[in-house]
């Protein structure tokens, strides 16, 4: 948020934005679960339907007019989405979601370790004595694939711990990342605390060790103005459904020279140049990682979601979410028996906050809020190690977006304030 001088969205503007979202109109429900999945504006729904109505065909496979139009739409979507994060078309690989994108990297590194990719793939090989570093606050999608890669290659998995607030211990990071580190994988924004990671600090440590960096940008690309090349990371992943797009589409961004050197993960049609009964030769990235029939309509719809976000302005959206996050953190800090997880009020965060309600299980908190018409996320949010480090099994998370008003936040705070008395644990 440093250096951001763009004005925040006003509540009047947010109410106008909400009119574009069919699910949010005509309902009294306060939707505060955008960290899990966002709602979709009509323009995105229409874009996917329009593709099927007028341009549906297999891409990169036919010379007829429909096939050409479908391919053009597919590749234009790649250009739009890549540009949104500061990249080029050659740097963006379509995947089903961010989880698949991280697995793509892990399995590609595993294939390189097995000797695939030749001399170019050598830089991705791992073995006994090598180390993969992640963090204690990661979503399971940015932890388990690296656990499995370590098991397959004999490498050691290490992690950067969190402090008592759930923030990364950057002092400890300097001790964890060292000369044996080959990969450093970390989140740009925590899906539990809403805290924004000091990317430059971790990239600096990784570069000093000669390690590759993998950024989980699922909670940053939808909410902040993100330029991946400028951040200095080698790879990044994000999901369409968290940024107004449809489900079933995500992306892996990577530096072209690295993607071209990586051996493929999925193999089959559409990603080859020549096939004999004994061997196959693969296309350059990104096509070499896109075997089979592609997610064409979803990619087109995601590009429309990007255009929608760009029309409003990511700097304004980020300013609005910063204000929401501060309103959440400040309000929660004033409630008795409520423990705010993550950075205190005044610290930069996205419009997300998770809490532990003293004496009440998160699932019970969520049920009371749901009956009151407030939709939040409860559980461990696919981040069990972080919760365990904080002495928790679950938490209640409220997460807003560009269509969230200050009234939504205030209603959540008001309903949450009565939960402990409802269960007769206040005192």
Q: Is 382 a catalytic residue?
A: yes
Q: Out of 67, 144, 382, 417, pick the active-site residue.
A: 382
The answer for residues whose C-beta is within 8 angstroms of residue 199's C-beta and 6 or more apart is 188, 215, 231, 232, 233
CA–CA dist 15, 7 (Å, integer): 16
CA–CA dist 5, 120 (Å, integer): 44
| 189 DSSP 8-state letter | B
| Cβ contact 34:400 at 8 Å | yes
Residue in the block written with tokens 């402990």: 420
- Determine how β-strand 352-357 pairs with β-strand 30-31: unpaired
What token pair was written down for 289?
Answer: 């990682």
| 263 DSSP 8-state letter | P
Dihedral of CA atoms 356, 361, 366, 369 in degrees, nearest 10, equals: -80
| Cβ contact 267:116 at 8 Å | no
49, 125, 129, 404 from 154: Cα distances, Å: 47, 11, 8, 46
Q: Give me the residues paired with residue 295 across strands.
A: none
**407 sits in which H/E element:** helix 406-417
Q: Give me the residues paired with residue 352 across strands.
A: 399
CA–CA dist 120, 288 (Å, integer): 15
| Cβ contact 68:221 at 8 Å | no
Residue in the block written with tokens 């044996």: 180
- Determine how β-strand 156-160 pairs with β-strand 30-31: unpaired
CA–CA dist 291, 271 (Å, integer): 5
193, 289, 366, 396 from 196: Cα distances, Å: 9, 30, 25, 19
- Determine how β-strand 352-357 pairs with β-strand 272-275: unpaired
Residues taking part in catalysis:
382
């Amino acid at each position: 948020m440093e250096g951001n001088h763009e004005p925040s969205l006003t509540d009047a503007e947010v109410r106008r934005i909400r009119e574009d979202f069919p699910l949010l109109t005509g309902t009294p429900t306060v939707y505060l679960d955008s960290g899990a999945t966002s709602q979709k504006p009509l323009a995105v729904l229409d874009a996917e339907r329009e593709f099927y109505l007028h341009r549906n065909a297999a891409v990169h496979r036919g010379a007829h007019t429909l096939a050409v139009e479908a391919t053009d739409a597919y590749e234009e979507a790649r250009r739009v989405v890549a540009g949104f994060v500061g990249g080029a078309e050659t740097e963006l690989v379509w995947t089903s979601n961010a989880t698949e994108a991280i697995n793509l990297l892990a399995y590609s590194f595993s294939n390189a370790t097995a000797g695939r990719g030749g001399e170019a793939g050598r830089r991705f090989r791992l073995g006994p004595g090598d180390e993969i570093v992640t963090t204690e606050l990661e979503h399971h999608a940015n932890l388990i694939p690296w656990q499995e890669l370590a098991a397959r290659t004999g490498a050691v998995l290490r992690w950067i711990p969190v402090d008592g607030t759930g923030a990364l211990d950057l002092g400890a990071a300097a001790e964890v990342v060292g000369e044996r580190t080959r990969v450093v994988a970390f989140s740009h924004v925590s899906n539990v605390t809403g805290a924004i990671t000091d990317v430059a600090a971790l990239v600096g440590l990784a570069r000093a060790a000669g390690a590759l960096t993998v950024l989980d940008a699922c909670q940053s690309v939808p909410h902040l103005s993100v330029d991946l090349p400028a951040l200095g990371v080698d790879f990044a992943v994000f999901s369409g459904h968290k940024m107004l797009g449809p489900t079933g589409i995500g992306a892996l961004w990577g530096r072209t020279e690295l993607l071209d050197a990586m051996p493929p993960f999925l193999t089959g049609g559409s990603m080859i140049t020549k096939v004999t009964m004994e061997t196959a030769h693969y296309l350059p990235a990104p096509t070499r990682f896109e075997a089979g029939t592609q997610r064409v309509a979803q990619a087109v719809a995601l590009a429309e979601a990007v255009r929608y976000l760009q029309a409003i302005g990511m700097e304004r959206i980020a300013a609005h979410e910063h204000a929401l996050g501060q309103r959440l953190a400040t309000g929660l800090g004033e409630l008795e028996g409520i423990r705010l997880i993550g950075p205190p009020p005044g610290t930069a965060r996205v419009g997300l906050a998770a809490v532990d309600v003293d004496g009440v299980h998160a699932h019970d908190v969520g049920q009371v809020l749901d009956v009151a018409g407030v939709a939040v996320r409860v559980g461990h949010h696919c981040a069990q190690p972080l919760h365990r480090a904080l002495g928790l099994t679950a938490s209640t998370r409220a997460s807003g977006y560009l269509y969230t008003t200050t009234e939504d936040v205030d209603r959540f705070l008001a309903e949450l304030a009565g939960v402990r008395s409802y269960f007769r644990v206040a005192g």
